[in-house]
Chains A and B, each alone.
Chain A
Amino acid sequence: MGRLKLISKALSIGKVTEKYPFAPIEVPEDYRGKPVIDGEKCIGCGACANACPPQAIQVYDDVERGVRVVHLFLGRCIFCARCQDVCPVGAIKLTKEFELATPDHDDLHQVVELKLVRCSKCGKPFDTYRHLIQVAENVPPWERELLLLCPECRMEKTSEWRLWGCRK
C-alpha cells in the first residue's frame, strides 16, 4: 500500500526541480560566497594571510617597486570566511556570488597593491602607510617618531633610549 500512497504524494507535490541556471537561485543573507577585497579599505596588515587555512591569501612585499601585494587566489579558497572574521578594518567580505567557473585563469586572482613607507633612517621599505596610520592611533604621541623606523632601526633606537635613560 505504501507505494500507492507515495505516488499520490508525488502527484500532489509536482515538480521540485529548480529552473537554474535559466532562472536565478536565491541564497540566504549570510551566504559564504566569493570573497572580495576592498582595495580602498585594505591596510595590508596580513591578518587574513595568517588566518587563511588553505593559504589562498598571500601577503608579501615587492621591495623593488616599493609596494605590498595582497594576493587572493580563488582557486585555493575554501570559503570559510576566516579572513572576514579577522580583518581589523572590514576590507575583505564574502559576497553572495557563487558562480565562479571561468575559462580565464586571471578571473580567479585578486591583487591589491599598497604603497610602502621607507625607513627614515636606513631607507628600507617596511610597512604600508595605511597600516602605520592605523597603528599610530594606539601609540602615545611621544613614541610616534618610532613608527617611521623599520623594525631593526626601531630596535636600535629603543635600546639607545634604554641605554641613556631618556629620549635623545
Chain B
Amino acid sequence: MVVEVLKGCKILRHDDRVTVAEVSPERAREIAKGLFNAGCYYSCGMGVDERPVNMRFAMYHVFNCEAERRHVILKLTTPTNELTLPSITPVIEGASWSEREAMDMLGIIFDGHPEPERLILPEDWPEGVYPLRKDFPYNKKLPPAKPKEGRKKPRPDIIEVPLGPYHPTLHEPEYFELYVKGDKIVDAKYRGFHIHRGMEKLAESRMTLNQVPFLAERICGICGCTHSTAYCQAVEDAAGIYVPERARYIRTIMLEIERLHSHLLWFGVACHLLGFDSGFMHLWRAREYIMDIAELITGNRKTYGINIIGGVRRDIPEKKKRKVLELLDLAEKDSREILDNVVKMGELKERMENVGVLPKKKGREIGVVGPVARASGIDTDVRRDHPYAAYGDLDFEVPVYKGEDVLSRFLVRYDETFQSFSMIKQALDNMPEGELINEDYEIPSFKLGLGVTEAPRGEDVHLVITWGENKVYRWHPRASTYNNLPAIPIMLRGNDIADAPIIIASIDPCFSCTDHVSIIDSENGRVLWRGSLEEGIRRVGNGKA
C-alpha cells in the first residue's frame, strides 16, 4: 500500500488520481525503495528552481502505481542556500537520467549518484552555468568553452562502431557507440540530446498558457497530439478545469488516429529495415487513409492543433463523421490484409525472434513504458490504468506478450492497431452532443498539475507548475522514448551487428534521426561507409565498400 509507505511524510495532495508528498531528504531513498517494492515504477523527475518563492530548489520524483491507479509524486527540497539532495538512483536505476538532467540544468548536486556526468548539456557548455535557473535569461548566448580532454583508451581486440547522427530533424537523435567483437555486439553506449531545443525555457519565459499546446505539439514529429493533450491535462489538473464530454471524445479520437498513423509508419520502417520494401510501400499506402482522416477533421495531416486548455477547437459534424468511417473501413481492410501477410512470412519472423531481448525484471528497473514494456510481459497501459479523455467509457484490450524480443514488440503493435480501429469507431458512435470548450476558468498561482497520456511509444508525462499572469512557472514534458532508450544497450548486447538497426527501431524512437552513421575499422581508422545506416551495414556486410 502506497499510503503506508508514505507514513510520516507531509501529504500535500491526496485525491483519486495523484498523491503528492513532501519527503525529508534523509528518508528519500527508503521511501523510493518502498514505493518500488510496492509495485510502482519510476516515471519521471523534474527539478525546479523555487528560489523566487521559497529560496530553495526542489526535485519532484513521479512514480506510476498501476495497481492503485494513481501517481505518487515525491517532493524533495534542498535546505535553504544549499544545493545538495540525496540521489535515489542507487535504489532505483530509472531515476538516473532525471537526476543527471536536473544536475545539468539547475545545478542541484545529487549525493551518491553513480554516474554524475553531463547528460543534456554539450561538452563545450561552460561550467557553472545552469540554463533552467530563473536568473538565466532565455535569450542569453554564451561563447563555447573548451571541452574537457581525456577520452577513453581503445581496447585492442574490440572494434568500435559509432552509430549516430547529428541530424537535427526530430526530437531525439541518438548516438550509439557499439563495441563489436567479430560480428557480435559486446557493449553499447549512448550519448544523446544533440538537439535539445530548450522548449521548457521558451515556454516559461516567452509564451502564454494557451500558446504552449502548439509548442508541445512540436516536441515530436510523429506523436505531437498526445503531448499537447498531456500538457492541457496538466493545466486542467492544476486549475481544476472541467472539460466537456464531447471534447474528451474528440481528443480520444484524435489520439487513436495518431496511434494508427504512428504504428503503421513503424510497421513500414520495420519492414524496410528487414529488407522487405514492398511491405513498407503497402503499409504506407494504407497509412495514407489515416492521414486523410486527420486532414479532414483538423485541417492538417500531422500537426492537428486541436487541443486547447479546457477543450478542443474543432468539431466532428455528422457529414465528416460519415466520411471518416468510410475511410477508416478502407484503411482497416487494407492494413489487416497486408499485416496478416507480413506476420506469416517466415523470413521476417526469423529476423525478429529472440533478437533484442529485454528481460522483464530489467525493464521494470529502468521503467520502460508502452509497447516495449508490454512485449516484455509488463502489463501497463495508461489508457486503462489511469483513464483520461474518454478512455474510461471505451471497451478495449491491452495486448501483453511474454517473448521479450523484437517479434513481441511487433505483435503488440499489431494487436494495438486493430484495437485502435475499434476504439475510434466506438468513440464516433457514442460521442455525446454538447459544448466543445469550457473557457470559464481561473488559473491559480504556483500549483502543480500532472498530465499523463499513452503515446504510441508509451507513457508521456507532463508536469506543469502554473503561475499567475497567464504563464507557466515550470513545464516539464517527458517523452516516452526517454524511458525506453536506456534499455537499448541491454537489448543490443550479444546480438549481431546486422540486427542493430531493427533492435534500435523496435522501441520506435524517432527514427529518421538515427539514419546517418559511419562505420570505422578501429585498426586503421579507415571510414568504410558513410551514409544511411541500413545501406552501410548491407554494403560492409557484403564486402562491397
Contacts and interface: CB of A to CB of B under 8 A. Distances in A.
- Chain A bound to chain B: yes
Interface stretch (B94-102, B292-300, B411-419): B292-300
Contacts of A145: none
B458 interface: no
Contact of B337 (A1, A9, A81): A9
Indicate the member of A6, A27, A51, A81 with the most B CB atoms within 10 Å: A6
Interface string B291-331: 00001101110010100000001100000000000000000
B430 interface: no
A81 B211 contact: no
A5 B298 CA distance: 35
B526 to A, nearest CB: 38
Cβ-closest 10 pairs across A and B:
A2-B341, A32-B299, A53-B211, A53-B214, A80-B305, A2-B344, A30-B299, A2-B345, A28-B296, A31-B299
17 contacts: A2-B340, A2-B345, A3-B278, A3-B341, A10-B278, A16-B288, A31-B295, A32-B298, A32-B299, A50-B208, A51-B210, A51-B211, A78-B218, A79-B303, A79-B305, A80-B214, A82-B211
Given A6-B278, A6-B282, A32 B305 contact: yes
B91 interface: no
B299 A85 contact: no
Given A9-B337, A13-B285, A30-B298, 18 more contacts: A1-B344, A2-B342, A2-B344, A2-B345, A9-B338, A10-B278, A10-B282, A32-B299, A32-B305, A50-B208, A53-B207, A53-B212, A78-B218, A79-B305, A81-B299, A81-B313, A82-B210, A94-B299
B6 interface: no
B471 to A, nearest CB: 13
Nearest to A50: B208
Given A1-B344, A2-B342, A32-B299, A16 B214 contact: no
B300 A79 contact: yes
A5 B345 CA distance: 11
Nearest to A1: B344
B410 to A, nearest CB: 14
Contacts, number: 67
A82 B214 contact: yes
Nearest to B276: A3
A13 B314 CA distance: 34
Indicate the member of A9, A10, A79, A85 with the most B CB atoms within 10 Å: A9
Given A2-B341, A78-B214, A27 B295 contact: yes
A85 B214 CA distance: 14
Contacts of A52: 211
A13 B331 CA distance: 14
Main secondary structure of the interface of B (DSSP, over half): helix
Indicate the member of B281, B296, B300, B344 with the most A CB atoms within 10 Å: B300
Nearest to B313: A85
B279 interface: yes
B215 interface: yes
Nearest to B282: A6
Contact of B338 (A6, A27, A30): A6
Nearest to B281: A10
A145 B405 CA distance: 77
A30 B214 contact: no
A94 B218 CA distance: 20
B341 A5 contact: yes
A16 B211 contact: no
Contacts of B341: 2-3, 5-6
Nearest to A31: B299
Contacts of A51: 210-211
Interface string B202-231: 000001101110110010000000000000
Contacts of B298: 30, 32
Interface string A34-73: 0000000000000000111110000000000000000000
Contact of B345 (A3, A9, A28): A3
Contacts of A3: 278, 341, 345
Contacts of B314: 30
Given A31-B299, A80-B305, A53 B282 contact: no
A59 B215 CA distance: 22
Nearest to B295: A28
Interface string B411-445: 00000000000000000000000000000000000
Contacts of A94: 299
A51 to B, nearest CB: 7
Interface in A1-20: 1-3, 5-7, 9-10, 13, 16
Given A9-B337, A51-B211, A53-B214, A28 B303 contact: no
